[in-house]
């Protein structure tokens, strides 16, 4: 099944446990999202980032728990992020953590792609229940 929509995201820096060296900047942020469309609800999570001394090269991982309604089914699930970017390419993988679904979303599996065009975030969620 496919779900589409938009989301608003608020990222806030958090205290870092580790600090980088040699021009590497390590960071930690909170994630607060609000989803609209086929998926309505909110998510809370945390992100770890690494930004290199080379402009445009960075990586991040994140975990967020989504709580809401997906095509009329209510529950929660967890998304895991993996992102890498440099001057030549950018990869972003968002995947549902196995067995993280609750309520009517028990058994959910899938992947999500996101786009940011002109500051407006949208998503395409390919999932199965």
User: What is the structure's pLDDT at 56?
Assistant: 92
User: What is the structure's pLDDT at 19?
Assistant: 72
Query: Do residues 40 and 6 make contact, with C-beta atoms less than 8 angstroms apart?
Result: no
Whole-angstrom CA distances from 1 to 10, 15, 25, 64, 127 are: 28, 39, 39, 21, 5
Pairing state of beta strands 39-51 and 25-37? antiparallel
- pLDDT per residue over 99-121, tens digit each? 999 999 999 999 999 999 998 99
Q: How far is CA 16 from the centre of its chain?
A: 19
Integer-rounded Cα Rg, in Å, for the chain is 15
Q: Taking the model in full, what pTM does it have?
A: 0.93
Q: Which residues contact 118 (CB under 8 A, 6 or more apart)?
A: none
Structural domains of the chain, ranges and CATH numbers in brackets: 2-128 (2.40.350.10)
User: What is the structure's pLDDT at 115?
Assistant: 94
Any idea which of 2-11, 40-49, 83-92 has the lowest mean pLDDT? 83-92
- pLDDT per residue over 15-55, tens digit each? 877 776 788 889 999 999 999 999 999 999 999 999 999 99
Summary mean pLDDT of the chain: 95
């Amino acid at each position: 099944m496919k779900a589409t929509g938009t989301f608003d995201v608020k990222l806030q820096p958090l205290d870092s446990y580790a600090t980088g060296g040699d021009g590497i900047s390590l960071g930690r942020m909170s994630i607060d999202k609000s989803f609209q469309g086929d998926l309505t609800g909110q998510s809370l999570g945390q992100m770890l980032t690494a930004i290199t001394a080379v402009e445009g090269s960075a990586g991040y991982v994140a975990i967020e728990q989504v709580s809401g309604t997906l095509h009329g089914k209510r529950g929660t699930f967890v998304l895991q992020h993996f992102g890498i970017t440099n001057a030549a390419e950018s990869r972003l993988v968002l995947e549902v953590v196995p067995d993280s679904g609750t309520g009517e979303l028990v058994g959910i599996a899938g992947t999500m792609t996101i786009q940011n065009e002109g500051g407006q975030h949208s998503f395409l969620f390919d999932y199965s229940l």
